[in-house]
Structure 1
Amino acid sequence: MKKIIVLVSVILLSSQSIFSQKETTVVTIKNSESAPIINKNIYGHFAEHLGRCIYGGFFVGDTSKIPNTNGVRNDIIKALKELKIPNLRWPGGCFADTYHWKDGIGPKENRPTIVNQWWGGVTEDNSFGTHDFLNLCELLGTEPYLAGNMGSGTVQEMADWVQYVNFNGKSPMSDLRVKNGRKEPWKVKIWGVGNEAWGCGGNMTADYYAGEYRKYATFMSDWSNSGGLMRVASGASSDDYNWTETLMKNIPNQMLGGVALHHYSVIDWAKKGDGVDFDEDLYFKTMKQALKMEELVTKHSAIMDKYDPNKKIALVVDEWGGWYEVEKGSNPGFLYQQNTMRDAVLAGATLNVFNNHAERVRMANLAQCVNVLQAVILTDKTKMLLTPTYYIMQMYSVHQDAKLLPLTINSPSYTFNGESLPALSASASKDKNGLVHISLVNVDSKKPNTIEIDLNELGIKSVSGVIVTSSKLQDHNTFDNPTKIQPAVFKGFQIKKGKLEVVIPPFSVVTLEGK
């Protein structure tokens, strides 16, 4: 019999006894030949010239005493390789529509400086540019996703950037690339045509942006990628469904590779709440915003289906995550925040949504990779730590390029102050080796949940597991205690008559492997 492995990722929220919950939630998993592949690019990341993401994060310079490769920290390279990140978006964000790529090529001492007008008004010296980023992607074995400047740039500027990085023949831009030390093109396939055009990217209307997109896309020629470029249109903010409708109606399908969507789990833009010192009210409100992703993806996908019934155009959620007040004493423009078990729950629930909508959602980018917003890595000079979100992304990486297994779950409710949310979410997949993985998230901050999964048709006889847990929802890793939250052996499950019963303890992330 072929071996089948089941991975169950469960995210939970307190320290109550795992054996106090009697009600059982049955998860039914179905094999489906028509189910889509979960595109690995759903597990993408985002690196913007913002705060300490690039400078003081990824990039310390090649003269730094911190071990590095061409100025990029070796410990970050190692951590991201182990995370198997499939793509990395750069240079923004809002920064992208102020970025002129030619400022970041050639001898570093000759590069001009600019002011980062969006993020703290700091001086940007352009010491980390196109070559640095694309060479980093090669080191990581990840696909680069370049966000082009439509807001303050020109059509010619973006067309030249495509030629510079992709053209293998003789041309002004490819000659310039060779002069700057790179003979072979990088063959960048994924390109963002502007960013947040409705806001920092130019305060455009949807109709105006659709016309500009058509013009830019026309001149973004490619010669190096089979199938051409994947052009990603600047899409809607959260529930602006008119934006998606206008783009899908006014831009020919053949010009669109993807339409973006941005949604942050923010309780109030004027008063976002603390990243660590939060109560259950703030937690509930944050998770309410996070779980809204299901509604957003469903409704934006339905609009896209009207104009693209064959689902050839991807929904690209290239900015998502939790957004709180900055850490006390840090620069407000640097968006540096801590990362607690709340963020682990948020990440798991969101990734389940993306997995279950894999036929339309084919790329996403967590914001952001290092030292900004819901980062997977934090640094402090020579020190580096991995956040709870890092471990969730690592756990869910088993779904990359695996076949979706449709499932049903009748979730109990998580109720607070008279409002209710689904306490559980789930997604499942089968990889090319026949291994089955199931991810479950418990959103309830107090009650454990018992889940039952029928293993008979999966042929599973034995199960082992690991757990990530802590004593409080607000717990997090610090530079003084960087391993407070990390995986440990988990034994809170049993198999009875071919059925797996998992008692999901609050405040935990569980991975079960069955053979």
Structure 2
Amino acid sequence: MRKLFLLMLIGFRLGAFAQSNGSVTVTGVSDHIISKHIYGQFAEHLGRGIYDGFWVDKNLPVKKQDRIRLDVVEALKKIKIPNLRWPGGCFADEYHWRDGIGPRLQRPKMVNTNWGGITEDNSFGTHEFLALCKLLNTEPYIAGNVGSGTVEEMSKWIEYLNSNSTSTVANMRKQNGHPEPYKVTFWGVGNESWGCGGEMTPDYYVNQFKRYASFAKNYPGASLKKIASGANSDDYNWTEVCMKNIPNSMMWGLSMHYYTIPTGNWNKKGSATSFDEKEYFNTMVNCFKMEELVTKHSAIMDKYDPAKKVALAVDEWGIWTDPEPGTNPGFLYQQNSLRDALIAASTLNIFNNHSDRVRMAELAQTVNVLQALILTEKTKMILTPTYHVFDMYKVHQNAKYLNIALNSPNYEVDGKSLKAVNVSASQDAAGKIHLSLVNIDMNKTVTISTELKGLQWKTVTGQILTSANITDVNTFSQPSKITLRNFTGAKQENGKLVVTLPAKSVVTLELN
């Protein structure tokens, strides 16, 4: 028995200290920036995302402005979220904006048919959403109702928000307490029009988009950025039809949605907290499909828009697991583990590395839904590992993209392999260089030798996000199990930056 214990201990130590090597070459500054809007967020009328997330009971003993929960607001301000997409999602195409304005007690109630069949009291509507955006210092991104709405309805919503005229609709906004126009510029023309937004064909949607977009008018100081409802995952034909038939001048962006499903099976997606290495590896395989999707959709867009004027907007992404046991399955509440942080960081690296075309993205979702940044329970609030990734990566917002060449060792499970390391890099307006590196290998440390051609630096500091187990989570009783810590594994050797990345870790470095 003692011999067996010693063999197990030796095996553990060998695994803990197993190491492989790779290299990164930063080849120079590119001609574009990493848009801050890649770091956008999504808040749908779904489960406890709006109600009991952002918008709480007036009697809940937490700091509030009106009913907006301020500890959530302060946490999101810290990571500088650049935009917030609302009211959906599938909910957007059954939402009628006039139901959510005026005195709250007089607003009509409806049934949220997409998410749990619960009663929606419309107490959180247009003015409440824009008050939230103002508190967050973020840009609103509103998804218009194309599925069950009308051209006039969306046109009047834009007029209500953006016009400073003496029209009946603009006067209604003034009477409801906001004399000045809001000047909302990001508008989605429908959502998932291929599915819950109307089960449309791409050819039919193109005609719908052109109708709705034609009556989505610009008002002074509010030139609209119209975003067409784009493809589901690898539906490349949808992108082809939209790019071929919608004039580039008519749309600011074309969306694409993709979720990482651990098992690849939508009917049984897998647990957020209980999984083995084989399922973890398969989850990362599915995560990295985003690279293929972005590359292929971008190539189609390049055919019709070689100047890259139209943005690829990945306005729903993230890991989607089975709901937490004991919760309403229609509320999509799931825990958030170290695995999810590695998915978030790896996906953001993909977006950064394709930032010539990907200029907007929204994580699904912000609070209490899917891959949330924040979880709440009555007066308690915790920051998830995914939140900490966005905190680390905020340095890339509106920074110059740095071209990189990566040579990574493989992470192998059951004869299959993935690149163990992924990376993106940028240089901010002050000249500071930031590198974000992810080691997805559960078992091995990876040492990366980095050469920065034509870039000068003297000192390096960094932060790291990791934990003992890939299944570790933050809980309301242990809210800081996974949090950012100072990283000391980077040094200068013979003019190169040498970085030792622990297994299953995310590291962001700052070079001065």
TM-score by length of 2: 0.95
Is the 2:432–2:510 Cα contact (8 Å) retained in structure 1?
no
1:356 aligned to 2:341? no
In the alignment, what sits opposite 2:337? 340
CA distance in 1, matches of 2:453, 2:296: 36
In the alignment, what sits opposite 1:71? 67
In the alignment, what sits opposite 2:141? 145
The 1:249/1:16 distance shift into structure 2, 3 A limit, reads farther
CA distance in 2, matches of 1:510, 1:150: 42
In the alignment, what sits opposite 2:426? 429
1:202 aligned to 2:192? no
State the Cα deviation string for residues 310-345 of structure 1 (Å, max 9, x = none): 110000000000000000100000000000000010
1:101-140 matches, within 5 Å, as 101-140=97-136
1:30-179 matches, within 5 Å, as 30-32=27-29, 34-179=30-175
| Match of residue 235, structure 1, among 230, 238, 256 | 230
State the Cα deviation string for residues 91-122 of structure 1 (Å, max 9, x = none): 00000000000000000000000000000000
In the alignment, what sits opposite 1:463? 460
Is the 1:301–1:315 Cα contact (8 Å) retained in structure 2?
yes
- Quote the offset at 1:241 in angstroms: 0.0
In the alignment, what sits opposite 2:398? 401
AA aligned opposite 1:366: L
- Quote the offset at 1:461 in angstroms: 2.6
CA distance in 1, matches of 2:31, 2:20: 31
Is the 2:25–2:453 Cα contact (8 Å) retained in structure 1?
no
- Quote the offset at 1:61 in angstroms: 4.1
State the Cα deviation string for residues 395-425 of structure 1 (Å, max 9, x = none): 1110000010010002221111222112111
In the alignment, what sits opposite 1:299? 296
CA RMSD, 1 decimal: 1.5
AA aligned opposite 1:240: D
- Quote the offset at 1:453 in angstroms: 1.2
1:214 aligned to 2:210? yes
Is the 2:345–2:506 Cα contact (8 Å) retained in structure 1?
no
Is the 1:19–1:503 Cα contact (8 Å) retained in structure 2?
no
Unmatched 5+ stretches in structure 2: 1-11
CA distance in 1, matches of 2:295, 2:215: 32
AA aligned opposite 1:235: G
Is the 1:18–1:505 Cα contact (8 Å) retained in structure 2?
no
If asked which structure has higher relative contact order (CA below 8 Å, sep 6+), I would say: 1
CA distance in 2, matches of 1:16, 1:488: 23
CA distance in 2, matches of 1:457, 1:499: 12
CA distance in 1, matches of 2:368, 2:14: 35
| Match of residue 322, structure 1, among 316, 319, 324 | 319
Is the 1:97–1:194 Cα contact (8 Å) retained in structure 2?
yes
AA aligned opposite 1:483: S
In the alignment, what sits opposite 1:380? 377
- Quote the offset at 1:467 in angstroms: 2.4
AA aligned opposite 2:47: G
CA distance in 2, matches of 1:194, 1:490: 44
1:288 aligned to 2:285? yes
In the alignment, what sits opposite 2:219? 223
Is the 1:148–1:194 Cα contact (8 Å) retained in structure 2?
yes
1:450 aligned to 2:479? no
| Match of residue 498, structure 1, among 476, 495, 499 | 495
- The worse-fitting range, judged by mean Cα deviation, of 96-105 and 59-68 is 59-68
Is the 2:423–2:435 Cα contact (8 Å) retained in structure 1?
yes
The alignment covers a number of residue pairs equal to 499
CA distance in 2, matches of 1:310, 1:488: 41
- Quote the offset at 1:20 in angstroms: 3.4
Is the 2:231–2:238 Cα contact (8 Å) retained in structure 1?
yes
CA distance in 1, matches of 2:160, 2:15: 57
- Give percent identity, aligned residues only: 57
AA aligned opposite 1:141: N
AA aligned opposite 2:406: I
Unmatched 5+ stretches in structure 1: 1-14
The 1:455/1:246 distance shift into structure 2, 3 A limit, reads closer
- Quote the offset at 1:17 in angstroms: 7.9
Q: Secondary structure at the match of 2:134?
A: helix
Is the 1:193–1:231 Cα contact (8 Å) retained in structure 2?
yes
